């Protein structure tokens, strides 16, 4: 059987979701797959240090914006030096994995992996790079990649900025399998303890729980709607949400959970940061209120979501989120997006395999 190696990255959950979607589709076609975390391949100390630096950049207003737009996007010397440092550690680890597994396909869904995969000697596999950002930065686009997979025409143009001759395929963003078969609204609300006739908001901001979500959740619940508030892997945020829920009966707190499909099905509005959650909400026909809390690529992704429609934007200030959420609840939601069924993604990915002779 053909085999694929998928290289993800543990900065947030979006990379893992996309890697899983590729793996599911490949296995359905008879492939075997193996997914690795590029951050783990850097080594325990280097991987932890890299994540700490990234978190710190996001915590300092404007700093990651400066790094992204001034260094990553144009491929400035600082960005290239950081990429080279990571590549020096990744190439030996990836060389060993490829020698043992002998894949026919390697899929990079994390920018740090892209140049490392392309520097492997004696390549006898095809290399896909899969990026769901609306404007992939310079480190995503390296010589040696056989095919770039993106989810918008804008992203395709961004790839060709750096490689005008690049082979690029535009696909609908894949969803986690449970989003293709979500429960009905009534069933979901009964499961989550939300009244059938009440207003309901799902509030989340990525696996790291970015922004003042605890204060926002409490203020929004006090304004009337039931609020399903998800902390992700942010344990401190989960503690604060549970404390606030003891004062606000309409606040329903959650930590890291696999019940997001049911929560979206129960909700009238999804309040979230820009990212792959937006595609999931659109597939279920839910209106979006976007929190402007993700710097750098998050700014571009947010603007693209607004262009797609049925979305509004707010800063992370709790009072502004409440005001915008109450207004958004009065507006109509969209019909489910074309990505609500898996066929467009699967058909497109299969055509991508055929394009490089692997179908």
What does the DSSP assignment read for 180-218?
Answer: GSPPPHHHHHHHHT--TTS-EEEE--TTTT-SSHHHHHH
**Which pLDDT value is given to residue 45?**
65
Query: What is the token pair recorded at 240?
Result: 């604060």
Q: What does the DSSP 8-state code read for residue 121? A: S
Q: pTM of the prediction?
A: 0.91
pLDDT tens-digit profile, the chain (359 residues): 999 999 998 766 678 889 999 999 999 999 999 999 998 888 766 656 666 666 677 777 788 899 999 999 999 999 999 899 999 999 999 999 999 999 999 999 999 899 999 999 878 999 999 999 999 999 999 999 999 999 999 999 999 999 999 999 999 999 988 999 999 999 999 999 999 999 999 999 887 777 789 999 999 999 999 999 999 889 999 999 999 999 999 999 999 999 999 999 999 999 999 988 999 999 999 999 999 988 899 999 999 999 999 999 999 899 999 999 999 999 998 999 989 999 999 999 999 999 999 98
**Domain ranges for the chain:** 3-174+342-355, 177-340
Q: How far apart are CA 54 and CA 52, in angstroms?
A: 5
Q: Which residues pair with 148 in a beta bridge?
A: 129, 168
Query: What is the token pair recorded at 89?
Result: 């550690």
Residue 57 and residue 206 in contact, taking contact as beta carbons nearer than 8 Å: no
Query: What is the token pair recorded at 241?
Result: 């949400």
Which helix (H) or strand (E) element contains residue 58? helix 44-59
Residue 119 and residue 32 in contact, taking contact as beta carbons nearer than 8 Å: no
What contacts 199, CB < 8 A, 6 or more positions away?
224, 225, 226, 268, 329
Q: How far apart are CA 306 and CA 300, in angstroms?
A: 10
Rounded (5°) CA angle 126-129-131: 160
Residues in the chain, overall count? 359
Question: Is residue 275 classed exposed, middle or buried when 0-12, 13-18 and 19+ CB atoms within 10 A define those classes?
Answer: buried
CATH of 3-174+342-355, one of 3.20.20.60, 3.40.50.2000, 1.25.10.10, 2.170.260.10: 3.40.50.2000
Residue 114 and residue 108 in contact, taking contact as beta carbons nearer than 8 Å: yes
List, edge to edge, every strand of the sheet that includes 3-8: 32-37, 3-8, 105-108, 126-130, 147-150, 168-170
Q: Which CATH superfamily is domain 177-340 in?
A: Glycogen Phosphorylase B; (3.40.50.2000)
Domains 3-174+342-355 and 177-340 share a fold: yes
């Amino acid at each position: 059987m053909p085999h694929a190696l998928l290289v993800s990255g543990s900065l947030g959950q979006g990379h893992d979701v996309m890697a899983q979607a590729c793996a599911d589709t490949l296995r359905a076609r008879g492939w075997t797959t193996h997914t690795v975390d590029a951050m783990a391949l850097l080594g325990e100390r280097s991987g932890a240090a890299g994540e700490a630096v990234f978190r710190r950049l996001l915590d300092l207003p404007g700093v990651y914006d400066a790094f992204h737009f001034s260094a990553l996007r144009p491929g400035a010397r600082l960005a290239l030096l950081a990429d080279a440092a990571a590549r020096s550690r990744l190439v030996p680890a990836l060389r060993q994995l490829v020698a043992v597994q002998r894949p026919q396909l390697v899929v990079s869904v994390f920018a740090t992996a892209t140049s490392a995969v392309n520097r492997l000697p004696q390549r006898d596999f095809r290399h896909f790079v899969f990026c769901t950002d609306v404007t992939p930065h310079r480190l995503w686009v390296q010589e040696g990649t056989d095919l770039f997979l993106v989810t918008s025409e804008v992203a395709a143009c961004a790839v060709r900025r750096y490689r005008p001759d690049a082979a690029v395929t535009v696909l609908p963003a894949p969803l986690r399998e449970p989003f293709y078969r979500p429960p009905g609204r009534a069933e979901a609300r009964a499961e989550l303890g939300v009244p059938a006739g009440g207003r309901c908001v799902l509030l989340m901001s990525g696996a790291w729980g970015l922004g003042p979500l605890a204060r926002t959740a409490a203020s929004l619940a006090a304004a009337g709607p039931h609020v399903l508030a998800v902390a992700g892997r942010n344990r401190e945020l989960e503690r604060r949400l549970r404390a606030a829920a003891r004062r606000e009966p309409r606040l329903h707190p959650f930590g890291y959970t696999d019940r997001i499909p049911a929560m979206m099905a129960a909700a009238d509005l999804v309040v979230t940061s820009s990212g792959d959650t937006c595609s999931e909400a659109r597939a279920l026909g839910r209106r979006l209120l976007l929190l402007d809390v993700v710097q750098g690529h998050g700014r571009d992704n947010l603007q693209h979501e607004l262009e797609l429609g049925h979305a509004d934007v707010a800063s992370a200030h709790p009072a502004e989120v409440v005001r915008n959420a109450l207004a958004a609840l009065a507006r109509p939601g969209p019909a489910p997006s074309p990505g609500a069924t898996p066929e467009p993604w699967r058909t497109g990915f299969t055509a991508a395999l055929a394009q490089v002779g692997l179908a």
